[in-house]
Structure 1
Amino acid sequence: MSELSQLSTALYQILVIGIGATLVMDVWAIVLKRLFNIPSLDYALVGRWLGHMPKGTFAHQSIFNAAPARFEKAIGWFSHYLIGVLFAGGLVAVVGSEWLTAPTLFPALLFGVATVIFPFFLMQPCLGLGIAASRTPKPMNARSKSLLTHAVFGLGMYLTAVIIL
C-alpha cells in the first residue's frame, strides 16, 4: 500500500472512530436521561458559545443569559462530533497509527478520560460554569458525570476501532 493510501485509510478510520465514539457517548447520555433523569449538556449552548466568538466574545458570565446565536443548535452538534473526530486523531497521534490495526482498550480509555481537561479548563469556564464546574449547584456531580462521560467516549473509541477492523 502506498504512503498516500495508508494516510487516507488512517484518516478515514480516525473519522469513523471519532464519530462512532461520539455516538456511543450520546447513547450513554440518553441512557442517563431515561433511566436516571440525569440531563445532558445542551449542545445548542456550545453552539451559542462558538457563535459569539466571531463577534469577539470568548467567555461568558453565564451562557444561559447570552443572546442566542444563529444556528446555535446545528453549530453545537456539528462541533460536538468534530471534537470527537479531533480527539480520535489525538489518540492516534499519541499512541501511534499501529493502534488502528490492533486497538487496545487501555490507551483509548486513558486518553478518553484525559480529554476531560478540555471541558474542565476551557469550555466550562468560558460558559460561565467555573473551572471544573465549580460554579454549578453540585460541582462534584458535574465533575463525576464529565469524567464518566469521557471514559465512555474512550470506550467508544476502542469499540468502534474493533468493529471497523
Structure 2
Amino acid sequence: MQNIVFIVLIGIGATLVMDLWALLRQQLFGIAPTNWGMVGRWIGHMRKGQFSHISIVNADAVSGEKIIGWTAHYVIGIGYAVLLFLIFGEAWLFEPTLGPALVLGIATVVAPFFILQPGMGVGIAASKTPNPSAVRLHSFLNHAAFGLGLYLSALVLSSVLSL
C-alpha cells in the first residue's frame, strides 16, 4: 500500500513540476501553456466515437472539458509514474536517480507526438502547425521537466520517509 501512495504522489508531483515549468515558460518567454480544456474536449468527443479532428478548436465544446482535461493530465502523470516503477522497481522509489526518471520523462513525448497532436488536428509531431520545430522543442522540454519532476518528487518523498 505504501508503494501505491508513493507512486501516486510521485506522479502528481512530477505533473505539478511540469505545470510550474509551463507557468515559468509563460512568464519568461510568453509561451502559452497547454490548454487542457482542449484536451478535455478531445477526450469528451471520444465518448461519441470521434477520436480525431480536423481542428479541436473548431469542434463542439464538451461539458466539463476543462475538468476532463486537467484530470486526464494528472491521471496520465500518475500512469507514467506507475510505468517508472514497473520498469525500475521498488529500489528506485527509495533511492531515486535522475537518469531513469529523465529518460522516461523524455520518452513520454511519444504520446503527444503520435496520439494527442494528430487526434487534435495538428498532425504527427505538430507537423500541421505554423512552426512544427518550435512545438516539438517545447514538447520535448515539457516532458524533460516532467522527468525531472519524477526524480525530484521521489527524492523529496524518499527523504521524508527516511526521517
Same-fold call, TM cutoff 0.5 = yes
Q: Residue 49 of structure 2 aligns to which amino acid in structure 1? A: G
C-alpha distance in 1, partners of 2:131/2:90? Answer: 40
C-alpha distance in 2, partners of 1:151/1:56? Answer: 32
| 1:86 equivalenced with 2:79 (yes/no) | yes
The residue number in structure 1 matching 2:47 is 54
C-alpha distance in 2, partners of 1:10/1:148? Answer: 28
Shift of the alpha carbon at 1:53? 0.7
Unaligned regions of 5+ residues in structure 1, if any?
1-7
| 1:161 equivalenced with 2:145 (yes/no) | no
2:93 to 79, 96, 100: 100
Shift of the alpha carbon at 1:25? 0.4
Q: Residue 43 of structure 2 aligns to which amino acid in structure 1? A: L
The residue number in structure 1 matching 2:26 is 33
C-alpha distance in 2, partners of 1:112/1:45? Answer: 22
Deviations 1:9-60 (A, max 9, x none): 1111110000000000000000011111011110000000011111110110
Deviations 1:110-161 (A, max 9, x none): 0000000000000000000100000011000000000011000000000000
The residue number in structure 2 matching 1:19 is 12
Alignment RMSD (CA, Å): 0.5
3-state SS of paired residue (2:128): coil
User: Percentage identity across aligned positions?
Assistant: 51
TM-score, normalised with respect to structure 1: 0.95
The residue number in structure 2 matching 1:3 is none
Deviations 1:65-85 (A, max 9, x none): 100001000000011000000
2:127 to 125, 134, 142: 134
TM-score, normalised with respect to structure 2: 0.96
Runs of 4+ in 1 over 6 A off after TM superposition: none
| 1:115 equivalenced with 2:108 (yes/no) | yes
Shift of the alpha carbon at 1:97? 1.7
Unaligned regions of 5+ residues in structure 2, if any?
159-163
